[in-house]
Amino acid sequence: MPKMTVANAQLQLPEERSSQSRGAVMSSQRPRLLEAMANLVSQHGYASVRIEDITTQAGTAKRTFYTYFADKEACFLAIYDELIDEQRKAIENSIRLDTSHEERMFCITSALIDTWIRMGSKVRIFVTEAFSVSSATLSHHIEARKSLAELMVDTCREVSATNPKWHPMTEAHAQAVVGFIMGFLLQALQAPTGIHSLASQKEALSGALSTLMLAKSAFVQGAD
């Protein structure tokens, strides 16, 4: 396998950068390093990326990298957490208490799909790359999945508090949904057009995922 190079993949920095204040330059360094890390891992995989590759693409000195991150793994975890936080915000911002439970689940899954499409190939960071870094990163990944599941449980609890016909989603059910989502995203990444293949299937996929989230509640409601 040929050695990866980033000579032609540097970020295009503004020409007027030299006239920027030191504070402005400093404030842009960490985001540029994270963006470079995300792009390189998405394209080449974590194992192939070197710190000098990150700093070259970000247009910073190597010593600048160590100002913000202890090592490559710390940088990876920082961008991983940003991507997970994007998903959490998508769920939180999509919640509307004035809608039915079915509509709310549909909105949540639709918002998540929009978020994944915006991420593009960066989805790979939390779908596959988290497994190949270290045991500590894998534990971090497991906790992040648990956190997303808990957010789904909390969302359903809000509904059940005002609508006794709907029962809360259990943690095991939510974990199963998150696991399904991860497998679903892995399959999408293998498509010829990558994660962007979701755009043409958004409505059908939102319906399928929301139905999966509702499965337990609907079953229990029917039993009553």
Ranges in the chain annotated CATH 1.10.10.60: 15-68
Q: What is the mean pLDDT of residues 191-201?
A: 83
Q: What is the mean pLDDT of residues 128-145?
A: 86
In the numeric block, the tokens 């957010």 are attached to 151
Distances in Å between the Cα of 95 and the Cα atoms of 99, 106, 138, 163, 215 are: 9, 10, 29, 16, 19
pLDDT-based confidence at 10, cuts 50/70/90? very low
Distance CA 113, CA 188 (A): 11
Q: What is the pLDDT of residue 163?
A: 64
CATH superfamily of 15-68: Homeodomain-like (1.10.10.60)
CATH superfamily of 72-223: Tetracycline Repressor, domain 2 (1.10.357.10)
Of residues 43 and 169, the one with the higher pLDDT is: 43
Q: Which residues contact 45 (CB under 8 A, 6 or more apart)?
A: 129, 132
Name the average pLDDT for the chain: 79
Cα radius of gyration (the chain): 20
Ranges in the chain annotated CATH 1.10.357.10: 72-223
Taking a C-beta distance cutoff of 8 angstroms, is the pair 37, 54 a contact?
yes
The H-or-E segment that residue 104 falls in is helix 101-119
Provide the Cα torsion 102, 103, 106, 107; round to 10°: -150
Q: What is the mean pLDDT of residues 95-122?
A: 80
The tens digit of pLDDT for each residue in 53-105 reads 999 999 999 999 999 999 999 999 999 999 999 988 888 888 766 667 677 77
